[in-house]
């Protein structure tokens, strides 16, 4: 099975219960954002920009748990920001598991190993020494980490433990070069790989979560699936990038780029995803076949954004994860007050121009599961896709050229670092204004980049992004409870 039986049964029971009760709208997955703080500044992420004035704010733990109870979605995806920065993330995961929910922790992977070391410290006894030896041998923990683990954990707080009800959902947008470029920091891909390897040794369930942009090469996505399948991940979610307002504004303002150069139109999405069903045969892609057919351009679906509601520090965000027309105090209130007929694309016509190019999973994947645009045979297709044996682990992942960036000296920030060195500055100590003024003095930022980094050092879009990194070099000060 692609998705474990107990979890599938839980979701199926939830849908059947509401169908029998003729509930017109109900939640399948809650996107819970306890905070918007993040340690990264990924290109294309509207979250940390849309909520830039409230980055230090966090939801109370009780409010997070109450939100899950209120909408009663069987699955909760804890996202953000970076949820592992949330000071009570362990209590939140444990609380949601106690409520009987399936929990996805959507993370950029940078703090996963720390949380898993805490887990090991929490369960430490000499019986786990062979596991520690294995982790040491694989260089996934250091001798110092092993000592920390052996001391045990005495603060009485829970840890994030492996269970079939919980997935680490790791953000991976490509192989090393591409991923580090998109997350705007070198070394992130490598850390994600190490976190995934450690998680699999410890028995966690792991999924990868990928957004496809205009610049994403389809071949690279397939290579990425091969590599992570070989590492033993349990499944992949994949969705097209979309030019929603906040991300679009960020593109223009911060990177000086036309969103059309970066995000996908519907037609482009269909091109990129034309082989998704083949990917689904070879790799464990999560989601329904109906949604895959939609992405491949074989059918239309109606948006059901209400089935994947977003709750954050400002309330229930409407109409969807991507667009914000308002925040509501309660899920029911949002369902009642929002005119859902204003959104989505019906028969190829956008009811709201902002929805025109959207085919994202948070709007359309539930439509496949809920039978919104039911066609004969859909239930059988969805059933078969999930219940048939899952694709075998890819055997030749070691042949994938996964470390094609900074690990082989091809880091996209390397020219920037070199330029700083020439100027006698460290990257951390660099005065952003100095570079911006230099850029301003040049006729174009590309010209400035050529002068600083050499004409052939990086491609035009990479030069723009290197410059953008200087513009966005602000540090976030965390407010903890």
Tell me which residues touch ligand SF4 (CB under 6 A).
38, 40-42, 45, 47-48, 80-82, 108, 171, 183, 303, 305, 319-320, 322-323, 343-344, 354-355, 358, 360, 362-363
Nearer to ligand SF4, 75 or 135 (CB): 75
> In the complex, what is the shortest distance from the CB of residue 146 to ligand SF4, in angstroms, rounded to a whole number?
29
Nearer to ligand SF4, 2 or 361 (CB): 361
Nearer to ligand SF4, 96 or 305 (CB): 305
End-to-end C-alpha distance for the chain, whole angstroms: 42
> In the complex, what is the shortest distance from the CB of residue 25 to ligand SF4, in angstroms, rounded to a whole number?
13
> In the complex, what is the shortest distance from the CB of residue 107 to ligand SF4, in angstroms, rounded to a whole number?
8
Q: What's the CA gap between 58 and 87, in Å, rounded?
A: 9
Nearer to ligand SF4, 82 or 464 (CB): 82
Nearer to ligand SF4, 80 or 411 (CB): 80
> In the complex, what is the shortest distance from the CB of residue 250 to ligand SF4, in angstroms, rounded to a whole number?
11
Q: What's the CA gap between 327 and 479, in Å, rounded?
A: 23
> In the complex, what is the shortest distance from the CB of residue 305 to ligand SF4, in angstroms, rounded to a whole number?
4
Q: Residue with the closest Cβ to ligand SF4?
A: 363
Strand partners, 317: 310, 327
> In the complex, what is the shortest distance from the CB of residue 481 to ligand SF4, in angstroms, rounded to a whole number?
20
- CA dihedral (386, 388, 392, 393) in degrees, to 10, reads 20
403 burial level (CB within 10 Å; 0-12, 13-18, 19+): middle
> In the complex, what is the shortest distance from the CB of residue 345 to ligand SF4, in angstroms, rounded to a whole number?
6
Structure tokens given for 152: 């045990």
What is the Cα 203 distance to its own chain's centre?
A: 21
Contact predicate 470/432, CB 8 Å: yes
Contact predicate 287/239, CB 8 Å: no
Among candidate residues 164, 64, 68, 148, the one with its CA nearest the CA of residue 113: 148
Nearer to ligand SF4, 371 or 397 (CB): 371
In 231-282, which ranges are continuous DSSP H helix?
A: 245-254, 266-272, 276-282
Nearer to ligand SF4, 30 or 362 (CB): 362
């Amino acid at each position: 099975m692609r998705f474990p039986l107990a979890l599938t049964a839980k979701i199926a029971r939830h849908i059947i219960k509401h169908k029998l009760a003729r509930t017109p709208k109900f939640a399948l997955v809650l996107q819970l954002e306890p905070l918007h703080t993040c340690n990264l500044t990924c290109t294309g992420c509207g979250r940390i920009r849309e909520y830039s004035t409230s980055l230090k704010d966090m939801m109370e733990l009780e409010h997070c748990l109450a939100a899950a109870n209120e909408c009663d979605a069987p699955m909760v995806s804890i996202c953000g920001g970076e949820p592992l920065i949330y000071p009570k993330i362990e209590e939140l995961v444990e609380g949601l598991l106690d409520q009987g929910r399936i929990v996805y922790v959507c993370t950029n992977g940078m703090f996963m190993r720390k949380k898993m070391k805490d887990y090991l410290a929490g369960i430490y006894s000499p019986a786990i020494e062979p596991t520690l030896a294995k982790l040491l041998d694989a260089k996934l923990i250091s001798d110092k980490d092993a000592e920390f683990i052996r001391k045990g954990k005495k603060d009485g707080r829970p840890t994030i433990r492996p269970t079939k009800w919980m997935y680490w959902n790791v953000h991976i947008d490509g192989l090393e070069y591409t991923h580090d470029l998109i997350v705007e920091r070198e070394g992130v891909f490598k850390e994600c790989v190490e976190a995934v390897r450690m998680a699999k040794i410890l028995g966690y369930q792991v999924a990868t979560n990928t957004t496809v942009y205009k610049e994403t090469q389809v071949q690279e996505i397939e290579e990425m699936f091969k590599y992570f399948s070989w590492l033993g991940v349990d499944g992949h979610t994949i969705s097209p990038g979309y030019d929603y307002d906040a991300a679009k504004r960020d593109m223009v303002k911060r990177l000086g780029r036309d969103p059309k150069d970066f995000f996908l139109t519907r037609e482009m999405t269909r091109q990129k995803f034309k082989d998704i069903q083949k990917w689904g045969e070879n790799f464990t892609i999560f989601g329904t076949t109906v949604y895959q057919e939609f992405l491949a351009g074989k059918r239309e679906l109606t948006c059901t954004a209400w089935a994947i509601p977003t709750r954050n520090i400002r309330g229930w965000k409407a109409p969807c994860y991507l667009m914000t027309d308002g925040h509501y105090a309660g899920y029911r209130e949002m369902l009642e007050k929002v005119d859902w007929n204003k959104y989505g694309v019906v028969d190829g016509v956008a009811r709201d121009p902002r929805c025109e190019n959207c085919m994202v999973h948070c709007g359309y994947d539930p439509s496949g599961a809920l039978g919104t645009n039911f066609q004969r045979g859909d239930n059988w297709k969805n059933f078969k896709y999930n219940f048939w044996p899952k694709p075998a682990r890819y055997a030749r992942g070691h042949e994938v050229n996964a470390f094609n960036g900074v690990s082989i000296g091809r880091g996209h920030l390397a020219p920037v670092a070199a330029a700083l060195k020439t100027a006698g500055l460290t990257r951390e100590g660099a005065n952003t204004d100095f570079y911006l003024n230099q850029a301003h003095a040049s006729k174009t930022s590309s010209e400035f980049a050529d002068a600083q980094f050499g004409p052939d050092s990086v491609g035009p879009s990479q030069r723009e992004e290197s410059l953008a990194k200087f513009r966005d070099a602000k540090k976030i000060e965390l407010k903890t409870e």
